Chain A
Amino acid sequence: MFTYEIKQENGKYNIYYYIDNKIETIEFYAYDLSNPQAIIRYGYKQKIN
């Protein structure tokens, strides 16, 4: 299962990508959630904790 979640770290938002709940990689996402700098990868669904 391909999932992602967005985490706020050090005043920025990073996006964590998972495959079967294992972190695949981490990317910078945005300074402000209303203005994302990166595009969420296709096929990943938001992880629900």
Chain B
Amino acid sequence: MTPYKLKILNGVLKLKSFADVVLNIFGIKDLGTQTGNVDNGLVDWSIQHLTKTTAQWNADTTTILLKGQLGIEDTSNATYKLKIGNGTNLWSALSYVGGGGGGSQDLQSVTDLGATTTNAINTAGITSDYLQLDTTATNTNAVGKVVWNDTLGTGEIGLKGGNINAKLAQDLYARVVNKTSQNLLRANYQAVKVQSAQGQRLAVNFAQANNDNNSADTIGIVAENINNNQEGFVITVGQIININTTGSLQGETWADGDVLYLSPTTAGSLTNIKPNGSTGHIIVIGYVEYAHQNNGKIYVKIMNGWELSELHDTFINPATLTNNDALIYESSTQLWKNKQIGYTLLFTAGANLLISPADATTYYFGSGRNSIYTPDHAVIIPKAGTLKSISFFHVVNSTLGTAENSTLSVQVRNTGYSGSVSTTTQITNTYKFNSTYNSTMFTGLNIDLPEGCAVDIKWLTPTWVTNPAQIQINATLFIV
């Protein structure tokens, strides 16, 4: 059969006459049924191309589509697939192509095509059951690109800026604003703390382990150069590489496996010298994975620790916190609270020999007896403390005294027996011996008692109408 040919004039298909409509266009052998009209020489036609079912095409071992000839495969499920002949291959050897009119192609045909070019697919989105990285391929990193790094054992994604390739499932970064007033350098890998927020991002400043305020919010170490007041990444968990980890930057010598702490003395710096409660807060920054001048590695894992007062079952009241406080468990609140602990000293006068005090006489007592001399019975304080309260107790074993007032004071010799009186603190000037028993507590005292000081009670008696007789008086000192 001699094929018919069309002429294209000025981009428009025109026919000489209607008789030319019956064509075998483009060499299609089996034209099938055509319908259409000619209006002012323009063709308005539908053309059915060579179409077979999938089974038919699969069984066809003779049909070879001409170069450029279209073949349609009816898959019997309302979809049609398209192939273009090359004048050589059977249907089975041709690839499907996409197109309109209900044509489709499978993913294999697309990837087969792609495999001969760049292996790259540019698309607005991919939905897949999984994404498998090629663990044998070698690729260069780029911003927004995920590639496999077999040495690191994971995929890496290039972060914004192009300076960091984050290791998937191994590294965590935070994009922050540099508020240190300095340009931060990755080479210095300084530690930063959260200071505030700016531009809906954390704003950071140098961390330092000299106090809770400078260290409690330590978040990471600088992972790329970040100019002052600009955004950049700090690493919060994971590995930072290619830095000087010999310790020379910090004036120390670091080795593989060293634990690195936040420096108490230099803002932003790290140290392998563990601080203690006296030298600073113990903020673990990470560990030296590889101590090297250029290719050093640090694994970052920040542990800020807790203040004692930040524990859930602890309440330390700053309003009452003072020297010699201890943590005491309080069952009613189920909390550990700061409370004063200390010791008591019992000073007695007339313990073994009852005393009948004379009028207007000054007595001193401490260790069991009384005397008109000080410090004959003073007590040596073995441990420095503060006298917080004192309780006086007496028993009158014979005649009760009348209601005249005695004055009781605490007398301290800071340097011991041989020293002069350092302080005399009046506790009461209204103590009476007109009852058989009496116990009175005096609180709110704050009398310093240096270690080794001598303490006794000074008792100035009144002139009684009736003197108390055969009495014992005790003083209990509460010292913390």
- Smallest CB separation, A18 vs chain B (Å): 12
Tell me if B470 is interfacial: C-beta within 8 Å of chain A: yes
The contact string, 1 if C-beta is below 8 Å from chain B, for chain A 23-39, is: 11111110000000111
- Smallest CB separation, B265 vs chain A (Å): 61
**Which of B60-68, B267-275, B327-335, B355-363 makes up part of the contact surface?**
B355-363
Q: Check B357–A28 contact: CB distance below 8 A.
A: yes
Q: Which residues of B contact A27 (CB under 8 A)?
A: 355-358
Q: Check B372–A23 contact: CB distance below 8 A.
A: yes
Q: Which residues of B contact A41 (CB under 8 A)?
A: 353
- Complex A-B, nearest 9 residue pairs according to Cβ-Cβ distance, in ascending order: A38-B356, A37-B469, A28-B467, A28-B356, A28-B358, A14-B358, A27-B356, A26-B358, A25-B372
Bound Cα distance from A10 to B356, whole angstroms:
16
Q: Check A25–B467 contact: CB distance below 8 A.
A: no
**A and B contact pairs by CB, cutoff 8 A, 8 listed:** A24-B372, A25-B355, A26-B358, A28-B357, A28-B358, A28-B467, A28-B469, A37-B467
- B residues 388-421 near A (Cβ < 8 Å) are 398-399
Majority secondary structure, A binding face:
strand
Tell me if A47 is interfacial: C-beta within 8 Å of chain B: no
- Specify which of A9, A26, A39 is in contact with B372 (CB 8 Å cutoff): A26
Tell me if B371 is interfacial: C-beta within 8 Å of chain A: yes
Closest partner residue, chain A, to B463 (CB atom): A10
Tell me if B178 is interfacial: C-beta within 8 Å of chain A: no
- A residues 1-49 near B (Cβ < 8 Å) are 9-10, 12, 14, 23-29, 37-39, 41
Tell me if B244 is interfacial: C-beta within 8 Å of chain A: no
Q: Which residues of A contact B354 (CB under 8 A)?
A: 38-39
Instruction: Count chain A CB atoms within 10 A of each CB in B354, B356, B399, B470 and give the residue with the most.
Output: B356
- Smallest CB separation, B461 vs chain A (Å): 9
Q: Which residues of A contact B370 (CB under 8 A)?
A: 25
Instruction: Evaluate whether A12 and B467 lie within 8 angstroms (CB atoms) in the complex, with A28-B358, A37-B399 already known.
Output: yes
Q: Check A25–B470 contact: CB distance below 8 A.
A: no
- Smallest CB separation, A25 vs chain B (Å): 5
Instruction: Count chain B CB atoms within 10 A of each CB in A24, A27, A29, A37 and give the residue with the most.
Output: A27
- Specify which of B363, B371, B463, B470 is in contact with A38 (CB 8 Å cutoff): B470
Q: Check B470–A39 contact: CB distance below 8 A.
A: yes
Q: Check B353–A12 contact: CB distance below 8 A.
A: no
Bound Cα distance from A39 to B399, whole angstroms:
12
- Smallest CB separation, B468 vs chain A (Å): 8
- B residues 334-384 near A (Cβ < 8 Å) are 353-359, 361, 363, 370-372
Bound Cα distance from A49 to B20, whole angstroms:
170
- Smallest CB separation, A20 vs chain B (Å): 14
Bound Cα distance from A23 to B357, whole angstroms:
15
Instruction: Count chain B CB atoms within 10 A of each CB in A23, A24, A26, A28 and give the residue with the most.
Output: A28
Q: Check B359–A12 contact: CB distance below 8 A.
A: yes
Bound Cα distance from A23 to B376, whole angstroms:
12
- Smallest CB separation, B392 vs chain A (Å): 19
Bound Cα distance from A14 to B371, whole angstroms:
15
Bound Cα distance from A12 to B360, whole angstroms:
12
Instruction: Evaluate whether A10 and B359 lie within 8 angstroms (CB atoms) in the complex, with A28-B467, A28-B469, A39-B470 already known.
Output: yes
Q: Which residues of B contact A10 (CB under 8 A)?
A: 359, 463
Q: Which residues of A contact B353 (CB under 8 A)?
A: 41
Instruction: Evaluate whether A26 and B361 lie within 8 angstroms (CB atoms) in the complex, with A37-B398, A41-B353 already known.
Output: yes
Instruction: Count chain B CB atoms within 10 A of each CB in A23, A26, A39, A41 and give the residue with the most.
Output: A26
Q: Check A28–B371 contact: CB distance below 8 A.
A: no
Bound Cα distance from A48 to B284, whole angstroms:
83
Q: Which residues of B contact A26 (CB under 8 A)?
A: 358, 361, 372
Bound Cα distance from A12 to B370, whole angstroms:
21
Closest partner residue, chain A, to B376 (CB atom): A24
Instruction: Evaluate whether A24 and B371 lie within 8 angstroms (CB atoms) in the complex, with A10-B463, A37-B399 already known.
Output: yes
The contact string, 1 if C-beta is below 8 Å from chain A, for chain B 152-182, is: 0000000000000000000000000000000
